[in-house]
């Protein structure tokens, strides 16, 4: 962590590309085709972007049901995990003071967090906020991200069945990586994304 790397695209903190929903190139929508009008190129680009950045609202119930059936995750489990994790984080010596300064109503915050994790874990689309914007003013140090991930992983392993815990933890690492890169970019720095759980890193010969 902390390795300087080229950063050539913005990372969305939510995993919004569902399995099987990645779009194929649209016939006749080659953006490099000189015969296409500017209007057609913009329309094709917009269409591609919509398909890549998220599933359609009509498909969300189907996708959410598939993930729930595969992982065992439901609203009740999400709330138990959220309360277990954030209850610990609020008391943590490193993370607690951050929450104390920015969370006035914990029950309202828990409701929002449940919506957020529902969107992240089950792709329900219930959360409508902007996490990157919300978190950028906070003192997001590498140590804070490490502690956040450690506490979250512990809570997930204790509260959730193994498949569900792995699902939550993998997405938590994506969130942390996205926020960490965003915070570094705001400081004028470039950092490498965090390795997902279980990733094998290359070693020097």
For the cut 90, the answer to whether the pLDDT of residue 21 exceeds it is no
Average pLDDT, the chain: 73
pTM over the 0.75 mark: no
For the cut 50, the answer to whether the pLDDT of residue 14 exceeds it is no
- Could you tell me which residue, 79 or 37, shows the higher pLDDT? 79
| pLDDT tens sequence across 39-82 | 444 334 333 332 323 457 788 899 999 999 999 999 999 999 99
The rounded Cα 142 to chain-centroid distance in angstroms is: 17
For the cut 60, the answer to whether the pLDDT of residue 38 exceeds it is no
Q: How much is the pLDDT for 161? A: 97
Q: How much is the pLDDT for 55? A: 59
């Amino acid at each position: 962590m902390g390795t300087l790397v080229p950063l050539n695209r913005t990372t969305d903190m939510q995993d919004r590309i569902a399995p099987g929903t990645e779009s194929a190139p649209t016939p006749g929508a080659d953006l490099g085709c000189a015969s296409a009008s500017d209007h057609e190129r913009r329309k094709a680009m917009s269409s591609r972007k919509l398909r890549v950045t998220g599933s359609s609202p009509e498909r969300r119930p189907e996708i959410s049901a598939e993930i729930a059936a595969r992982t065992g995750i439901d609203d009740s489990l999400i709330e138990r995990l959220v309360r277990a994790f954030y209850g610990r984080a609020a008391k943590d010596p490193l993370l607690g003071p951050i929450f104390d300064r920015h969370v006035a109503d914990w029950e309202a915050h828990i409701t929002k967090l449940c919506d957020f994790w529902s969107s992240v874990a089950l792709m329900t689309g219930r959360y409508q906020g902007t996490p990157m914007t919300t978190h950028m003013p906070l003192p997001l140090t590498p140590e804070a991200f490490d502690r956040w991930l450690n506490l979250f992983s512990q809570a997930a392993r204790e509260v959730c069945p193994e498949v569900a815990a792995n699902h939550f933890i993998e997405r938590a690492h994506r969130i942390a990586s996205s926020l960490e890169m965003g915070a570094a970019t705001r400081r004028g720095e470039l950092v490498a994304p965090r390795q997902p759980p279980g990733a094998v890193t290359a070693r020097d010969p």
